[in-house]
């Protein structure tokens, strides 16, 4: 069984419903479609309301907006929001990401170039190194950076003031952020998957912007199959537009949309090959679970982070899988979606012993333990005192 599954588990590199960017061409395309102001930003109503209040309050006090932390899966509009905040306050946005800032000097270089009220957007902020993080604390709190000159006995610390700014941090993994880092954000919000109505509104506006002639039912079909993610909705619109040009008369109709999505192997729920492989791995290799994420990743030949950040959130949100203390478990919805016969968990456990084999045998560790370890790691990180308070 393992062999036959392994053979089918060939990862499509060009993952059409993958919420991460496909590259510069897609970025250019998305850039043109990016909402510029709160009023144009579709969905996330409660988040937008809170941010709008923070922006208005800051403007009236002539202060920069509070630091904002946005957490949630990729492709939902975190970068877009950083630009919108900057536009609303009439400031510039400076974009970087955690892994790119390898040394304190990288960050200091950016911080000292900021003008009053500018927005510094740091994507994947959970991946900042401890050293860089410590430069960020006094910058966020007191708008200053402390740099050390010389070494050993001659070492001196020099404090450089910087312009008051707003840090917008984005992360797919709030759990990996240190306590001191999290505590320095005035606003910390989860960004949710979009409902089909919001995605339909986005698609309708974008079809108009791109001068694509699209029928209403076709846009609804796309909205339902975009995994709750605007970046995917935009990508599918582009694919269907191309398909309509080549296979039809350029008009995006429902049959054209369905054929284009079928060609891309995107099913009625918006799941692609990789999503289905995830479910098939849990069900066919691990008897429906519970199974640790490391074991699933190893079987699929995929990074654990990719599964956790990109694939799982949508499957969890739509109840295809659940997370238990022992590991991931496929639900009845998943079995039915794949056209497989559902076995209740009791039967799974008694039938083939998978409850124990999978939770502990394959990986030697259940999810509960993994999480405990992750928390323990963060607690250790949390012990680090911010610079200046030592």
Rounded to a whole number of angstroms, the minimum distance from the CB of residue 123 to ligand ADP is 7
- Which CB, 69 or 202, lies closer to ligand ADP? 202
Confirm or reject binding of residue 202 to ligand ADP (CB under 6 A): yes
The residue (of 131 and 209) whose beta carbon lies closer to ligand ADP is 209
Measured from the Cβ of residue 17, the count of other Cβ atoms closer than 10 Å reads 27
Under rule CB under 6 A, residue 200 binds ligand ADP: no
Which residue number, 180 or 230, has a Cβ lying nearer to ligand ADP? 230
Q: Which is closer to ligand ADP, CB of 240 or CB of 355? A: 240
- Segment 141 to 170, residues that bind ligand ADP, using CB under 6 A: 170
Whether 231 sits among the annotated catalytic residues: the reply is yes
User: Which member of 78, 235, 238, 328 is catalytic?
Assistant: 78
- Adjacent-strand bridge partners of 324: 327
Strand partners, 94: 120
Instruction: Please tell me the distance from the alpha carbon of residue 7 to that of residue 301, in angstroms, as a whole number.
Output: 11
- In the bound state with ligand ADP, the residue whose beta carbon lies nearer, of 43 and 138, is 43
Which one of the listed residues 182, 231, 239, 241 is annotated catalytic? Answer: 231
Which residue in 15, 80, 118, 123 is the catalytic one?
123
Work out which of 15, 16, 17, 30 binds ligand ADP, going by CB under 6 A. Answer: 30
Q: Is 18 in the site for ligand ADP (CB under 6 A)?
A: no
- Smallest distance, Å, CB 62 to ligand ADP? 28
Residues 269-328 that bind ligand ADP (CB under 6 A): none
Pattern 64-93, binding to ligand ADP, x per CB under 6 A?
----------xxxxxxx-------------
CA distance 52 to 88: 9
User: Of these, 34, 173, 323, 381, which contacts ligand ADP (CB under 6 A)?
Assistant: 34
Mark whether 159 is an active-site residue.
Answer: no
Q: Which of residues 217-256 bind ligand ADP (CB under 6 A)?
A: 230-231, 234
Residues that bind ligand ADP (CB under 6 A): 30, 33-35, 41-43, 74-80, 170, 202, 230-231, 234
Enzyme catalytic residues: 78-79, 123, 172, 231
């Amino acid at each position: 069984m393992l062999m036959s599954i392994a053979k089918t588990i060939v990862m499509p590199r060009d993952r059409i419903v993958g919420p991460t960017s496909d590259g510069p061409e897609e970025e250019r395309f998305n850039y043109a479609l990016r909402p510029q102001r709160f009023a144009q930003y579709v969905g996330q109503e409660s988040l937008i309301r809170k941010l709008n209040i923070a922006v208005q309050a800051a403007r009236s006090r002539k202060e920069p907006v509070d630091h904002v932390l946005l957490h949630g899966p990729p492709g939902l509009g975190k970068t877009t929001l950083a630009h919108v905040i900057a536009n609303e306050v009439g400031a510039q946005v400076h974009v970087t990401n955690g892994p790119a800032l390898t040394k304190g000097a990288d960050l200091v270089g950016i911080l000292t170039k900021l003008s009053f009220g500018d927005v510094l957007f740091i994507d994947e902020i959970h991946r900042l190194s401890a050293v860089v993080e410590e430069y960020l604390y006094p910058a966020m709190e007191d708008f200053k950076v402390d740099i050390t000159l010389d070494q050993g006995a001659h070492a001196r610390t020099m404090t450089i003031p910087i312009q008051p700014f707003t840090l917008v941090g984005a992360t797919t993994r709030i759990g990996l952020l240190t306590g001191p880092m999290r505590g320095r954000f005035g606003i910390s919000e989860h960004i949710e998957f979009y409902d089909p109505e919001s995605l339909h509104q986005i698609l309708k506006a974008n079809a108009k912007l791109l001068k694509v002639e699209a029928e209403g039912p076709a846009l609804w079909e796309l909205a339902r199959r975009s995994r709750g993610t605007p970046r995917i909705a935009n990508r599918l619109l582009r694919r269907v537009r191309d398909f309509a040009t080549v296979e039809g008369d350029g008009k995006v109709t429902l049959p054209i949309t369905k054929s284009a999505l079928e060609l891309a192997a995107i099913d009625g729920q918006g799941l692609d090959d990789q999503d289905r492989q995830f479910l098939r791995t849990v069900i066919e290799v691990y008897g429906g679970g519970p199974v640790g994420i490391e074991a699933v990743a190893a079987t699929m030949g995929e990074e654990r982070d990719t599964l956790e950040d990109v694939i799982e959130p949508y499957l969890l949100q739509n109840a295809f899988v659940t997370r238990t203390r022992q590991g991931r478990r496929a639900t009845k919805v998943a079995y039915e979606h794949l056209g497989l016969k559902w076995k209740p968990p009791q039967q799974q456990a008694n039938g083939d012993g998978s409850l124990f084999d999978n939770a502990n045998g394959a990986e030697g560790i259940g999810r509960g333990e993994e999480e405990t370890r992750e928390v323990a790691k963060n607690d250790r990180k949390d012990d680090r005192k911010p610079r200046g308070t030592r």
